[in-house]
Amino acid sequence: MTSFLGIEFGSTRIKAILIDEKANVIASGAHDWENRLENGVWTYSLDDIREGLQDAYANVAKDYKEKTGETLTAVGSMGISAMMHGYMPFDAEGRLLTPFRTWRNTITAEASEKLSELFGFNIPQRWSIAHLYQAILNGEEHVSEIKSVLTLAGYIQWVLTGRKIVGVGEASGMFPIDSKTCGYDEEMLDKFDELIAKKGFGWKIRDVLPEVAVAGETAGMLTEEGARFLDPTGALKAGIPLCPPEGDAGTGMVATDSVRARTGNVSAGTSVFAMIVLEKALSKLYPEIDMVTTPSGAPVAMVHCNNCCTDLDAWMKIFMEFAELSGHPMRKPDLYDLLLKNAMNGDPDCGGLTSCNYFSGEPITHLDEGRPMLLRRPDSEFNIANLIRNNLFSALATLKIGLDILLAENVGIDKILGHGGYFKTKGVGQKLLAAAMKTPVSTMETAGEGGAWGMAILAKFAVDGGGMSLEDYLDEKVFAGMKAVTEQPDPRDVAGFEAYMKNYAKMLRAEEAAVKSY
């Protein structure tokens, strides 16, 4: 039986998924890990990375043997994914010059602002080029020694294959991409070199960025050294092809069949983000919108919000505590289902209730910190249905601000796939997101398999694509026949959300005052 391996490095978990020729999961393994704050920088050590990779692989190999009775010695192909962005600079001898600076760091504000102005293109703080330029602005000594700059996924690919190469979606979180060529934007590369020319470094930006590949290509073969790095037991054989490494945004698009123009996906949990595949680039720079690409290089508009369900969860904890005090404790899933379904009986606009769900800062609304709070007028309809409905609206409100920019740009959206904890209670999160976006929203069971499954699909596509486009391959070979539940926008909910957003805009002034004074 031919199998395909996908491994994804998430922020708190490394997950490995092995699929068969029909994309069914046949084995899985994981390793939990945590970043640490060292000298003001969020990081993982190289030992953390190696040990985590080896443990996740060992666990998937163990699961495979328990289920099949066979030792895992080879797969048809494999792929590596990781949280995007960040900064891993290496010298000519392959030594890491600074601790890995992850996407979580917000230490590149000056570089982000200057590069965005220079390029006329939004460069978020977490992007690799922002980290590199900030290091230059800081006068850090290591910059002159740089031979290459990689992301986490790019680093693992290099270790396993000897090639410094990333998928175009991953590359789009390092430096702006030209979707016509599926490579780095040549004009912006030149602008960056001109910007730093007087520094006299012995490298050009083209020299240090990794090679770019698109989905369907082979991006190296597993070397003997790479095989031993991944599987120290010696069972895994060298010579396995690897597809281009991709970021978690790309694998999320694949896992939700959202790579075709006019489609998108919304991931809603602790944070929330939307990825919309565009027919053409936006007309201008929007600080609220990140521009990345699909694994095939198509332009994607990304709206990312730091806050989503945390405040909703906090209120649920209060109700769970009350249930326990009453002598009638409830299971957490049952409590959520009870209260969320009841929220659909609330007033369309939440009866005048408005809340801010910010536990941390939110760039889209220009707030560096958060103060969760609930506001209501004396005549508001304050009841449980409106309270929970308000929290559900609040969880999507900032995302809607960003998405409304795309709608004003006349961005076409035919289909949205929702995934994450916000959608667990059937018929609730889906309906409200459909109202917020004025677009049908679907959910499917495979979305729960996550990015590692999406990466395994990309690995399979690299050797099994047969010249098909990624869009057609997913539709015809992977998702054909899979069941999806779709909710249409309800005019009542649409009107209610629009009314709620007017109150939400007013509430943000109170939130700003709360941040300053409380």
Whole-number pLDDT of residue 276:
95
For the chain, give every domain's residue range.
Answer: 4-244, 256-518
CA-to-CA separations, 246 to 236, 267, 366, in angstroms, rounded? 23, 17, 30
CA-to-CA separations, 354 to 272, 373, 501, in angstroms, rounded? 19, 9, 9
Angle, vertex CA 391, rays to CA 386 and CA 397, nearest 5: 115
Whether pLDDT at 447 is above 70: no
Whether pLDDT at 449 is above 90: no
pLDDT digit string, tens, across residues 166-189: 999 999 999 999 999 999 999 999
Least confident of 212-216, 246-250, 267-271, 347-351: 267-271
Whole-number pLDDT of residue 158:
98
**Mean pLDDT calculated for residue range 217-245:** 98
pLDDT digit string, tens, across residues 32-76: 999 998 998 999 999 999 999 999 999 999 999 999 999 999 999
Residue type, 282: L
**Mean pLDDT calculated for residue range 441-450:** 73
Whole-number pLDDT of residue 362:
87
Measured in residues, the chain has a length of 518
Two domains, one topology: 4-244 and 256-518: yes
Backbone angles phi and psi of 136, in degrees to 5: -65, -45
Whether pLDDT at 445 is above 80: no
- The domain defined by 4-244 folds into Nucleotidyltransferase; domain 5 (3.30.420)
372: alpha, beta or left? (left if phi > 0; alpha if psi -120 to 50): beta
pTM for the full predicted model: 0.86
pLDDT digit string, tens, across residues 103-152: 888 899 899 999 999 999 999 888 999 999 999 999 999 999 999 999 99
Pair of tokens at residue 54: 């080896």
Whether pLDDT at 446 is above 80: no
Average pLDDT along the chain: 94
Whether pLDDT at 78 is above 90: yes
Whole-number pLDDT of residue 114:
97
Whole-number pLDDT of residue 233:
97
Pair of tokens at residue 39: 């000298």
Whole-number pLDDT of residue 269:
83
pLDDT digit string, tens, across residues 349-386: 999 999 999 988 888 898 878 999 999 999 999 999 99
pLDDT digit string, tens, across residues 286-300: 988 999 999 999 999
Whole-number pLDDT of residue 355:
97
Calpha distance 465→344 (Å, rounded): 44
Calpha distance 365→441 (Å, rounded): 25
Among 32, 56, 291, smallest CA distance to 168 is for 291
Whole-number pLDDT of residue 451:
87
Q: CB burial class (10 A; 0-12, 13-18, 19+) of residue 203?
A: middle
Whether pLDDT at 193 is above 90: yes
Q: Which CATH number fits domain 256-518: 3.30.479.30, 3.30.365.10, 3.30.420.40, 3.90.190.10?
A: 3.30.420.40
- 318 confidence band (pLDDT: 50, 70, 90): very high
Hey, how many other C-beta atoms are within 10 angstroms of the C-beta on 200?
7
Give exposure, 227-261, as e/b (b: 16+ Cβ within 10 Å): bebbbeeeebeeebbbbbbbbbbbbbbbbbbbbbb
